[in-house]
Amino acid sequence: MTKNLSRALLYGVLIFLVFVYLLPLWSAITTSMKSTEQVALTTPVTPAFPPTLEAYKIAFSELKRPILNSLAFTVFATIFSSVLGSLAGFTLAKLLKGSTSKKLLMIITFGVFLPYQAILIPLVRIISNLGLYNTIPGLILTHTAYGIPITTLLFANYYYEIPDELIEAAKVDGANPFSIYLRVVLPISMPAFVVTAIYQFVNIWNDYLFGVVLTRGEEAMPATVKLANLKGSFVANWNVQMAGALIVALPTLLIMIALGKYLIRGYTAGAVKE
Amino acid sequence: MAGVRLVNVWKLFGDFEAVKDLNLEIKDGEFMVLLGPSGCGKTTTLRMIAGLEEPTKGQIYIGDTLVADPEKGVFVPPKDRDIAMVFQSYALYPHMTVYDNIAFPLKLRKLPKDEIDKRVKEVAEMLGLTELLNRKPRELSGGQRQRVALGRAIVRKPKVFLMDEPLSNLDAKLRVKMRAELKKLQKQLGVTTIYVTHDQVEAMTMGDRIAVINQGELQQVGTPEEVYDKPANTFVAGFIGSPPMNFMDATVTEDGFADLGEFRLKFLPDQFEVLQEKNLVGKDIIFGIRPEDIYDALFAQVKVPGENMARAMVEIIENLGGEKVVHLRVGNLTFAGKFPAESKVQEGQEIDIVFDMKKAHVFDKTTQKAIF
């Protein structure tokens, strides 16, 4: 009896927490489907009635170019940082001696925890001097460089799990380091690529700080930066802002749905030896 | 094809001496087994021949080619040594089919496609893999994977095969079968083979010669008969043979006996002559005799009471079916004998035993080296 009671209590608490967690999302969804008048007259959690897609139209026309910008640099920076991370991870895990590799990995780990803010000023200067300020290539370069430590770490950890004998067998069979990577290591790296790509895509897509300091006009501005600018100068268009936020969140959601099953496999790959 | 020669080879890992001053010559076409307990340096030696490790000192030759000499700065990478290796874990490429696994070394050498196809199919035929060519390694049993690893080595027609405990992951029955197949295959191909194992039965049954290694040092090189019948020291004597040779402390007496404390055994005249020559009369020695050279008196041919006999207590009997390993005790001395299955001895019984003194061994007490 007491067991059932504590169970009921537990579920009560859990349902309450779920409610608290989902309330802002609900508020965003319902607000995005209200007209400007409805927003003014109702509370943020009142259901939209009648629902309208008017706010989405406005938000989308405003965000079209920035979303394309974001897609462009996110896709390229994700690909570049993953490929470079894979090459670097392979070198660390399989080509260098154990002690050297551990030391280098330590240094690279610092790069992962380097705060964005610390490097902003030199970053802007370097990118300007390269003539890449306010350009998509500038953002690709920045995100690729900033992503390499974490992608290297992810790949190195995956490659440590690959038995050394496999690499040695390829060496004896006549392969040079590059053909070992291309013919033996790369084909079995899919799980690591999926994990890294999802991680990088979500991080780069959601980045705001690099975007805001490295762009000025619409031609290279990321969606996240444009989103923050959606609030009007005199009145806050809550419905348009919420619609915009939901639109911008969509690509990361789609990536997770499309690749999520590989993500789980990637996390566990190598955990159990055959 | 070619022989392999190691000259004064050392390998250090930090302060640890994995291989100490190794000199070894493997003849063209020979099946050489490197035998020793785990951590003795045998695998390190093999890896140095493969080019997966660089020696710290010394020279390694494959055929007439110097492939490693740190003093001259010579180091030929594995891919240019024309060797093939079979690993303990097989190390098959998991994403490739059996066909692609076997073809891989040929593809890297950019052989024409039809030549590759011909050779892969030839090897598959030889190893009974034809039906499995389209399978992935994970769909194969241990024995099949082992054969694919072998196929990948054979297809290259290398100068030397290097094998690192290739049978140790197989079950006992399959291991016996593969032992014979591998030996047959090696004779058929005639390729110089260096085979690392810790299993003395594998070494005895497969090797043309055996190199026994312990703690990085070569103990003895010889045919299976030589290392078995004339072990160079107590390590080799104790490592080869199952159950191992019995060792007992003894003193050589003036009248030509080994005094074991509890009883005495008379040396043969030529044995005593050797002991006299080496000035060992009156000195302490280690007396060694293999279990199969101790007989139940009922089955012994030559019985001389007071010279080659003792009365012993049977402590434990291990019945192996075909024979019995009998653990015996005389006072404080314990040793094992190997009796035929027909022997009727019982645990707790006192029996007469006979030592075949022709097969007795004597080792130096301090150096552990064999006198005979």
Query: Does the residue A70 lie in any domain?
Result: yes
Handedness of CA A46, A47, A52, A53 (dihedral sign): positive
Q: How far is A273 from chain B, CA to nearest CA, in Å?
A: 12
For residue range A188-239, list pLDDT tens digits in order. 998 899 889 999 999 999 999 999 999 988 889 999 999 988 876 666 788 9
The whole-number pLDDT of residue B250 equals 95
- Check whether A274 has a pLDDT greater than 60: no
For residue range A127-164, list pLDDT tens digits in order. 999 999 999 999 999 999 999 999 999 999 999 989 99
How far apart CA B334 and CA B329 sit, in angstroms, is 4
Give the number of other Cβ atoms within 10 Å of residue B114's Cβ: 8
What are the extents of the domains in chain B? Answer: 4-239, 246-364
Verify that A91 and A174 share a domain, yes or no.
yes
Q: Which A residues, 194 through 253, put their C-beta within 8 Å of a C-beta on chain B?
A: none
Verify that A153 and A231 share a domain, yes or no.
yes
Residues of chain A with C-beta less than 8 angstroms from the C-beta of B120: none
Predicted model pTM: 0.86
Structural domain total, chain A: 2
First and final C-alpha spacing in chain A: 46
Domain containing A134 equals 56-268
How far apart CA B206 and CA B187 sit, in angstroms, is 11
Q: Is the distance from CB of B288 to CB of B320 less than 8 angstroms?
A: no
Mean pLDDT by 10 residues, chain B (372 residues): 92 94 96 95 96 96 95 95 93 94 95 96 93 93 92 94 92 90 92 95 95 96 96 96 94 94 94 94 95 91 87 94 93 93 91 94 95 94
Average pLDDT of chain A to the nearest whole number: 90
Verify that A21 and A135 share a domain, yes or no.
no
Query: Does the residue A248 lie in any domain?
Result: yes
Verify that A26 and A119 share a domain, yes or no.
no
The whole-number pLDDT of residue A220 equals 92
Does the distance separating the beta carbons of A168 and B93 come in below 8 Å?
Answer: no
Q: How far is A227 from chain B, CA to nearest CA, in Å?
A: 45
Residue A174 has its nearest CB partner, among B50, B91, B108, at B108
For residue range A34-90, list pLDDT tens digits in order. 998 888 888 888 888 888 999 999 999 999 999 999 999 999 999 999 999 999 999
Give the number of other Cβ atoms within 10 Å of residue B230's Cβ: 14
Verify that A21 and A103 share a domain, yes or no.
no
Residues of chain A with C-beta less than 8 angstroms from the C-beta of B162: 172
Q: Is the distance from CB of B130 to CB of B79 less than 8 angstroms?
A: no
Non-local (6+) Cβ contacts of A43 within 8 A are none
Confidence of residue A268 (pLDDT cuts 50, 70, 90): low
Which residue from B minimizes the CA distance to A274? B138
Q: Is the distance from CB of B211 to CB of B327 less than 8 angstroms?
A: no
CATH fold for the domain made of B4-239: Rossmann fold (3.40.50)
Pairing outcome for strands B257-259 and B4-13: unpaired
Verify that A17 and A112 share a domain, yes or no.
no
Cβ burial, residue A109 (10 Å; 0-12/13-18/19+): middle
How far apart CA B368 and CA B372 sit, in angstroms, is 12
H or E stretch including B161? strand B160-164
- Check whether A265 has a pLDDT greater than 80: no
Q: What is the dihedral of CA B141, B143, B144, B150, to 10 degrees?
A: 150
Q: By three-state DSSP, how is residue B369 classified?
A: strand
The whole-number pLDDT of residue A267 equals 53
Q: By three-state DSSP, how is residue A264 classified?
A: helix
Q: Is the distance from CB of B166 to CB of B86 less than 8 angstroms?
A: yes
Query: Does the residue A109 lie in any domain?
Result: yes
Handedness of CA B86, B89, B95, B96 (dihedral sign): positive
Q: Which CATH architecture has domain B246-364?
A: Beta Barrel (2.40)
